[in-house]
A and B are shown apart, each in its own frame.
Chain A
Amino acid sequence: MAPHERPHVAVVAFAQSDHLRTTDELSEVEMLMPVLHEVLAATGLKTSDIGFTCSGSSDYLAGRAFSFTMALDGVGAWPPISESHVEMDGAWALYEAWVKLQTGEADTALVYSYGKSSPGSVRDVLTRQLDPYYVAPLWPDSVALAALQAQALIDAGETDEPALAGIASRSRTAAADNPHAQLKGAVAQGDYAVRPLRTGDCPPIGDGAAAVILAAGDRARELCERPAWISGIDHRIEAHGLGVRDLTASPSTRLAAERAGVFERPVDTAELHAPFTSQEVVLRKALRLADDVTVNPSGGALAANPMMAAGLIRIGEAAARIHRGASDRAVAHATSGPCLQQNLVAVLEGETRD
């Protein structure tokens, strides 16, 4: 198939759970299932109608091998379905589904992801994704690594603690309108977690799930009044050595944005996966966001950061704004790894309204 014949793919539905500090009474599949039902109901599709299913999660959060296989029970995987899984945020599962739709082998896809951080200590769990030879044996936790990046930004004169507090406040104030958010409204900046980051600069730790339905071409128009067309999507990664990178910049985000076409025309909305306030500073620069762009109207990851779902939620939130006419061209971003190591950027567009 020639590139110009590639199917045009859109996000046609999005659902997410309420994000909570703990969900002991729910297994992962029990937490996920209502979200799957909601997103299917939004389109009227049944599992058997879906061409491809892809999920994102992490065994390290659950402390169990192959934990995603049990979550599949919530989909209804019998008779057999076409299914795949990424051990990553669901944004990368969405990328895989988008590729599948490009091949023409499916015209709809269900993408979901979930994470329960409550059973373990997520700061410690995340150390296991670091270089096992030189870094992981020192157990630098996720907040510590983000704090190194924040200090580098402060030293470079790109932000300061009051500006970071402003990002925290703006995000959580915006989340007041988000019924799913874990932290809503003003939250005290609090004491230092790892200086220069205060507790207010850090995301809440919690459990949650999200799901998206993608559809190609006319199928998208049948399923959604105003589909959020993915006009571009790309993801890039940087060297794993933190000391090799300039932590004040995100060249992988910039490159992914260029390839996704972010800079071709202005965007009106940006949903950024910035779990730490300081990371929003880096991302705004990498994405060249103008001051009039609405950034994280959902509250972003500072309001709810369910591991493995928070990136997919950024795409879903951006799409939902297009569905309801609040945005015409939005950029959504997801990240993975320490200090914004890996980044995915998607451009979502609604067709012009009369």
Chain B
Amino acid sequence: MTSVPSPEVLRAPLVVEFPFTRSLGPVQSAFLTGLRERTVLGVRTGDGRTLVPPVEYDPVTAEEIRDLVEVATTGTVTTWAWNHEPRRGQPLDTPFAWVLVKLDGADTALLHALDAPGPDSVYTGMRVRVRWAGERVGAITDIACFEAYDGEAARTGTAPHTGAFDDPVTGIVAAARLDYTYSPGRAQSAYINALSERRTVGERCPSCRKVYVPPRGACPTCGVATVERVEVGPRGTVTTYCIVNIKAKNLDIEVPYVYAHIALDGADLALHARIAGIPYDQVRMGLRVEPVWTEGGRYPDHYRPTGEPDADYDTYKELV
């Protein structure tokens, strides 16, 4: 038992990535397919306004709207912001302006990037046109960006459009990646650091005296900080278990195998781990086990029987 020394806090990169697959409704499908075909569609509301980009429900009345119209690929900047340091994933990797552009024929503005030589060349009211991406797939990025334009409007007013295209786009993959530097904090860092020495440490609640493993820095019963570090184990008792019969992907453990809750000696919370070194159908509550470490392992690979007599139920019944 020791008081907690000054923390040596761990840090590691944590990348969260997900390719969300999203289906499109009829209006979004028509709009994004239209972009693939170099056509910009809006939707007409009941009171005659044209929304670009189009939505399926009127933002004022919540009425369903399906009345598609084609608008121009030219328009006017309604507001802008100069982005001198583009970030990952943004439309251009050279300095650019973020712009809201009201396309000719539209009553609302579309957010996108404007390719321009510098902030002095951008202003509200500036005339711009769409620069199409070379390869278009039916996504907002089919508009590569906007660019300055001093010619005629590509179209005046709006024209009704059926929204029908060959091979319509019905879904998008919204890829996302966020990068974090994860730090587990003081208590869990101490737990992980101890594991590297093949020791298991928990923390004792000053109020109820329970020892939590792994420690998270707080007693969930008392709501107070757990500060007294306690070494537990290495031996423990199986409090409950299950037999796994389905092989997980990328797992080279043969089924069936046993996964168990193990109350390490001195701990008031059970850990979970695999049990090996005994036929799966001989694992039982009360079985006494000890950890097995593999070379270079950062936590016990599994637990095996110690050969001791089984623990009496009363010694672990609070932990089941």
Contacts and interface: CB of A to CB of B under 8 A. Distances in A.
A134 B27 CA distance: 12
Given A26-B186, A133-B28, A195-B119, A151 B81 contact: yes
Contact of A24 (B9, B78, B83, B140): B9
Nearest to B84: A192
Secondary structure call for the B interface: mixed
A148 B82 CA distance: 9
Contacts of A148: 79-81, 98, 100, 111
B79 A133 contact: no
Contacts of A192: 82, 84
B182 A63 contact: yes
Contacts of B24: 133
Contacts of B87: 123-124, 139, 141
A138 B97 CA distance: 13
B112 A138 contact: yes
Interface in A12-45: 24-30, 33, 36-37
B222 A76 contact: yes
B218 A33 contact: yes
A27 B176 contact: no
A75 interface: yes
B27 to A, nearest CB: 10
B178 A30 contact: no
A73 interface: yes
A73 B138 CA distance: 46
A226 B218 CA distance: 33
A293 interface: no
A151 B221 contact: no
B298 interface: no
Interface residues of A, number: 58
Interface in B191-210: none
A125 B16 CA distance: 11
Interface string B1-36: 000000101010010100010101000100010000
B179 A244 contact: no
Contacts of A26: 185-186, 217
Interface residues of B, number: 65
B191 to A, nearest CB: 11
A150 B81 CA distance: 9
A137 B28 CA distance: 15
A131 to B, nearest CB: 9
A247 interface: yes
A63 B180 contact: yes
B223 interface: yes
A188 interface: no
Contacts, number: 184
Interface in A49-98: 60, 63, 70, 72-78
Contacts of B223: 33, 36-37, 47, 73-77
Interface stretch (A3-11, A170-178, A235-243, A264-272): A235-243
A352 interface: no
Contacts of A308: none
Interface string A136-151: 1111110011011111
B183 A24 contact: yes
B158 interface: no
Contact of A63 (B14, B174, B217): B14
Given A73-B218, A148-B80, A151-B124, A30 B119 contact: no
Given A24-B9, A27-B184, A194 B81 contact: yes
Interface stretch (B66-74, B102-110, B245-253): B102-110
A259 interface: no
B174 A155 contact: no
Nearest to A149: B79
B83 A239 contact: no
Contacts of A150: 81
Given A63-B178, A76-B219, A151-B124, A239 B187 contact: no
A76 B224 contact: yes
A152 interface: yes
A76 B180 contact: no
Interface in A112-146: 119-121, 123-125, 128, 132-141, 144-145
Interface of B: 7, 9, 11, 14, 16, 20, 22, 24, 28, 32, 51-53, 55, 59, 78-84, 87-91, 98, 100, 102, 108-113, 119, 124, 139-141, 172, 174, 176, 178-188, 216-225
Interface of A: 24-30, 33, 36-37, 47, 60, 63, 70, 72-78, 119-121, 123-125, 128, 132-141, 144-145, 147-152, 155, 192, 194-197, 239, 241-244, 247
13 contacts: A27-B187, A29-B216, A37-B224, A73-B219, A73-B223, A124-B178, A132-B20, A134-B110, A134-B111, A138-B112, A139-B89, A139-B90, A243-B53
Given A76-B222, A137-B174, 12 more contacts: A124-B179, A128-B178, A133-B140, A134-B110, A135-B111, A137-B89, A138-B90, A147-B81, A147-B82, A241-B51, A243-B110, A243-B111
